[in-house]
């Protein structure tokens, strides 16, 4: 299964059944500790830096125009495409394959850097055709400048993956938090000085460059010219990962690609801004698990029961956080946009409501790929990606005929069918039943239903003359209160079980 080692039995190691069971318990507790600590450090640092990032987003959105965001979003379609080739799935392969030698790692690191240089050259080559396609010379300049970031991204690919494999989540959390803070500060400063869309471009480039240099200093790797014998095992696995990601990228970015051509800068700018607001908070939560899951599943890749346990644990935990965030944002989107961003962003309200609601469920999709990759099923993701390439553009083209709202609704129509095969395979390899998944989702689902009813009733009763700020604060307070009360009133035992895992992982 793509280089996944076979299980080691108690008889093969010379241990009795009791000694083997005791070792399994110790390993389980050790992994629980790594999971909780990884999530804790990543969560604390990311959310602390995210507060500053949100403040900077509000400031920058008031200083820039929808057209500025539209230009960066359209350039991002081509940059993201090149970025897939730039990384080529090497990082995930390094985490998954547990037995790579120092020589293999050095050659893989060198290969990654070569790909990064090629990524910059590719950005320069596609910049002019991309500008012509969108009828904008600004897109050409953005692609060339942002392409420099591929070089810095390549030097951090393998070192970052090794830090993941070694469970150095604390360092990675502070590194990414510092990158986010630096990016936010530079973006705000440039926007304040009237740099326009260059604030978004140069802010991200500066953060990427500094983070890459710091990571290489912390986890230095020597360079060695790549040879097929040394990197072929990594490339076999990374090719499946890369092709799957490439297909998914083409499919998922078809919204901006088609919308930019059909709707123009302003409309696609409003849509992409709504997508950012809807997905960033939720993806910050699922991103915590994404940081920990590859290394975690790699450690238990031959133990379906352990993978199933972590799958259900993360499903329940993530849904308890992301469901109220996404549904809550959808319900208060009108007041949120008016209060923080102003009237010029009103076109983003309905797309935000649709995308935020869907983001609640989309956050759980991140749980699928790490399991399939760790269990030797990366090919399933690759083949399913081809289905997405066909299905998604068709949906987005139809949706674009109805403006930004149509693009948002297209996500709800095309994504569920594309998840059937990966979900079925994930359940199969882990031995998980559908009712187990529904049971894990029930605490968050039931509490969100109560929260939504309370918020809708409140919005109906609040007088229109009430200050927008007070109205928004009351909505947030009631929504949060009703959700927490429902969870603890009807699902207290489940919450206590999660707390027990956290307490047992200390020490």
Q: What is the pLDDT of residues 289-328, one digit of tens each?
A: 676 777 777 777 778 888 888 888 888 888 888 899 899 9
Q: Does 270 fall in a domain?
A: no
For the CA atoms of 90, 94, 95, 97, the dihedral, rounded to the nearest 10 degrees, stands at 130
C-alpha 503/C-alpha 33 separation (Å) is 9
The confidence band for 236, taking pLDDT boundaries of 50, 70 and 90, is confident
Query: What DSSP line would sit under 278-323, residue for residue?
Result: HHHHHHHHHHHHHHHHHHHHHHTTT-HHHHHHHHHHHHHHHHHHHH
Instruction: With a cut of 70, say whether residue 36 has pLDDT above it.
Output: no
Residue range(s) defining the domain that contains residue 214: 43-252
- pLDDT value of position 476: 92
The position carrying tokens 């393998």 is 158
With 0-12 / 13-18 / 19 or more C-beta atoms within 10 angstroms meaning exposed / middle / buried, residue 243 is buried
**Section 5-31 average pLDDT:** 45
Q: Does 102 fall in a domain?
A: yes
List Cα–Cα distances, 497 to 205, 313, 490, in angstroms: 43, 10, 14
C-alpha 317/C-alpha 294 separation (Å) is 17
Higher per-residue confidence, 92 vs 402: 402
C-alpha 11/C-alpha 7 separation (Å) is 11
Q: Which of the given ranges, 33-47, 296-310, 373-387, 455-469, has the highest pLDDT on average?
A: 455-469
C-alpha 415/C-alpha 355 separation (Å) is 12
Q: pLDDT digit string (tens) for 209-231?
A: 898 888 888 888 888 888 877 77
Nearest CA to 452 among 473, 477, 482? 482
Nearest CA to 187 among 206, 170, 166? 206
Q: Does 80 fall in a domain?
A: yes
Q: Does 258 fall in a domain?
A: no
Which contacts qualify for 27-31: CB closer than 8 Å, 24 or more apart?
28/306, 29/504, 29/505, 31/296, 31/299, 31/300, 31/306
Return the CA Rg of the chain: 23
Supply φ then ψ for residue 302, to 5 degrees: -105, 10
pTM, whole model, 2 decimals? 0.66
C-alpha 325/C-alpha 357 separation (Å) is 9
Which contacts qualify for 121-126: CB closer than 8 Å, 24 or more apart?
122/82, 122/85, 122/147, 123/78, 123/79, 123/82, 123/147, 123/150, 126/78, 126/82
Structural domain count of the chain = 1
Instruction: With a cut of 50, say whether residue 6 has pLDDT above it.
Output: no
C-alpha 36/C-alpha 33 separation (Å) is 5
Q: pLDDT digit string (tens) for 153-185?
A: 888 888 888 887 777 777 887 888 888 888 888
Buried b (16+ CB within 10 A) or exposed e, 52-85: bbeebbeebbebbebbbbbbbbbbbbbbebbbbe
Q: Does 405 fall in a domain?
A: no
Instruction: With a cut of 50, say whether residue 16 has pLDDT above it.
Output: no
The confidence band for 19, taking pLDDT boundaries of 50, 70 and 90, is very low
C-alpha 112/C-alpha 100 separation (Å) is 16
Structure tokens at 4: 């996944």
Instruction: With a cut of 90, say whether residue 367 has pLDDT above it.
Output: no
Please provide the size of the chain in residues.
507
C-alpha 191/C-alpha 198 separation (Å) is 8
- pLDDT value of position 74: 83
Structure tokens at 6: 């076979």
List Cα–Cα distances, 46 to 183, 218, 280, in angstroms: 13, 20, 12
DSSP state of 7: P
C-alpha 221/C-alpha 227 separation (Å) is 17
Q: Does 451 fall in a domain?
A: no
Spatial neighbors of 71 by CB under 8 A, at least 6 apart, are: 136, 138, 139, 142, 197, 265, 269
Q: What percent of the chain has pLDDT over 70?
A: 86
List Cα–Cα distances, 106 to 103, 175, 359, in angstroms: 5, 22, 39
Q: Does 291 fall in a domain?
A: no
Higher per-residue confidence, 452 vs 94: 452
User: What mean pLDDT is reported for the chain?
Assistant: 81
Supply φ then ψ for residue 432, to 5 degrees: -95, 135
Q: Does 212 fall in a domain?
A: yes
C-alpha 313/C-alpha 292 separation (Å) is 13
- pLDDT value of position 26: 46
Query: What DSSP line would sit under 455-492, residue for residue?
Result: HHHHHHHS-TTS-HHHHHHHHHHHHHHHHHHHHHHH-H
The confidence band for 45, taking pLDDT boundaries of 50, 70 and 90, is low
């Amino acid at each position: 299964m793509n280089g996944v080692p076979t299980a080691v039995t108690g008889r093969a190691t010379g241990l009795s059944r009791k000694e083997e069971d005791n070792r399994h318990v110790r390993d389980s507790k050790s992994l629980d500790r790594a999971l909780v600590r990884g999530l804790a450090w990543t969560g604390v640092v990311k959310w602390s830096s995210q507060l500053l990032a949100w403040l900077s987003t509000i400031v920058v959105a008031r200083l820039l125009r929808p057209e500025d965001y539209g230009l960066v979003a359209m350039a991002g379609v081509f940059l993201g495409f090149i970025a897939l080739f730039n990384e080529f799935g090497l990082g995930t392969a390094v985490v998954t394959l547990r037995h790579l030698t120092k020589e293999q790692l050095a050659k893989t690191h060198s290969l990654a850097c070569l790909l990064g240089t090629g990524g910059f050259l590719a950005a320069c080559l596609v910049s002019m055709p991309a500008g012509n396609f969108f009828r904008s010379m600004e897109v050409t300049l953005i692609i060339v400048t942002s392409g420099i970031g591929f070089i810095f991204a390549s030097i951090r690919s393998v070192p970052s993956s090794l830090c993941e494999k070694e469970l150095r989540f604390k360092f990675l959390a502070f590194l990414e938090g510092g990158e986010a803070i630096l990016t936010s500060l530079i973006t705000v400063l440039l926007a304040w000085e009237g740099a326009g869309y260059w604030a978004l471009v140069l802010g991200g480039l500066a953060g990427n460059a500094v983070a890459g240099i710091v990571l290489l200093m912390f986890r230095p790797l020597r360079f060695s010219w790549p040879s097929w014998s040394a990197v072929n095992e990594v490339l076999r696995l990374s090719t499946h990962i890369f092709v799957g990601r490439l297909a998914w990228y083409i499919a998922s970015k078809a919204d901006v690609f088609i919308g930019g051509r059909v709707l123009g800068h302003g409309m696609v700018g409003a849509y992409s801004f709504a997508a950012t607001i809807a997905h960033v908070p939720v993806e910050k939560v699922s991103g915590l698990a994404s940081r920990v899951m590859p290394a975690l599943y790699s450690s238990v890749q031959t133990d379906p029961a352990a993978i199933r346990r972590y799958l259900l644990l993360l499903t329940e935990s993530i849904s308890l956080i992301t469901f109220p965030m996404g549904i809550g944002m959808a319900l208060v989107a009108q007041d949120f946009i008016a209060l923080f961003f102003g009237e010029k962003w009103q076109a983003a309200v309905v797309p935000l409501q649709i995308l935020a609601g869907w983001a609640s469920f989309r956050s759980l999709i991140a749980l699928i790929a790490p399991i399939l990759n760790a269990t030797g099923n990366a090919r399933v993701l690759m083949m399913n990606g081809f289905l997405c390439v066909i299905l998604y553009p068709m949906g987005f083209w139809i949706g674009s005929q109805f403006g930004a709202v149509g693009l948002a609704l297209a996500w709800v129509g095309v994504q569920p069918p594309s998840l059937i095969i990966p979900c079925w395979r994930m359940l199969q390899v882990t031995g998980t039943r559908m009712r187990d998944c529904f049971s894990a989702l029930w605490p968050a689902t039931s509490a969100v239903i109560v929260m939504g009813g309370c918020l809708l009733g409140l919005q109906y009763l609040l007088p229109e003359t009430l200050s927008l700020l007070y109205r928004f604060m009351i909505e947030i307070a009631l929504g949060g209160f009703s959700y927490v009360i429902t969870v603890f009133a009807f699902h207290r035992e489940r919450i206590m079980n999660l707390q027990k895992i956290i307490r047992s992982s200390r020490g």
